[in-house]
Amino acid sequence: MMRKDENSLQALVMTGLFAAIIYIGIWVLRIPVPAMVGRPFIHFGNTLTAVAILLLGYRNGMLAGIIGLGGFDILNGYAATSWLTMLEVVVVASVLSAIFKGMHYEDSKKNIIILAIVAGITKIFTTYCVSIIEALMVGTSLKIAYVAAFVSLPATLINSLSTAICTPILYFAFARGAKKVLKIN
């Protein structure tokens, strides 16, 4: 929706607004899950980041995700690994934007559902890689890091499932609201 004029005041305000929504979406609802690596929890930050990327475009959606997710990590005890969260956002934004571009930015229900599923699958992959890096950062051997990262995936699977289900719902709600309130196509 706002991919064309990403430097407009409106696009920048929406980027900041989405960063705040992402932060609050994590802060308000987070359910800790026990894991061998890290301190994972169930939240809606990934879902809201995917929506931001689809609505605002690659750069602004990615910035909103980096500020929202990364800012949450920095301010809530995850500062040592916040850079990994920010890299995850870059990967998810790159994958989603490339596929959405391949779909000629056609936001049909089918395409948005496909993109939501892709976002969830990408997040599983990136979180697995991040868990391996986190395990290695604390001195774990590589083989144990692989296993520990795999065993720590339940929260990611739940987050990815919620991303696949909630992204289309929130995307169309935000898109309709933006068209009415902001008078954009």
The confidence score (pLDDT) of residue 165 equals 95
Phi, psi (5° rounding) for residue 64?
Answer: -60, -40
Assigned domain for 4 exists:
no
Q: Are 135 and 145 in contact (CB under 8 A)?
A: yes
Domain span holding position 41:
9-182
pTM for the predicted model, two decimal places:
0.91
Per-residue model confidence as pLDDT tens digits over 69-128: 999 999 999 899 999 999 999 999 999 999 999 999 999 999 999 999 999 999 999 999
CA–CA gap between residue 113 and residue 38 (Å, rounded): 30
Assigned domain for 3 exists:
no
Domain count for the chain, please give it.
1
Q: Are 115 and 100 in contact (CB under 8 A)?
A: yes
Q: What is the mean pLDDT of residues 149-167?
A: 90
Assigned domain for 156 exists:
yes
The secondary structure of residue 42, as a DSSP letter, is E
Assigned domain for 143 exists:
yes
Assigned domain for 144 exists:
yes
Range in 10-24, 38-52, 131-145, 165-179 the model is least confident about: 38-52
CA–CA gap between residue 184 and residue 72 (Å, rounded): 30
**54: which 2 tokens?**
């689809």
Amino acid sitting at position 181: V
Assigned domain for 1 exists:
no
Domain of 41: which CATH number?
A: 1.10.1760.20
Provide the 3-class DSSP secondary structure of residue 27.
helix
The secondary structure of residue 77, as a DSSP letter, is T
Assigned domain for 165 exists:
yes
Assigned domain for 117 exists:
yes
Whether residue 58 has pLDDT greater than 80: yes
Q: Are 155 and 127 in contact (CB under 8 A)?
A: no
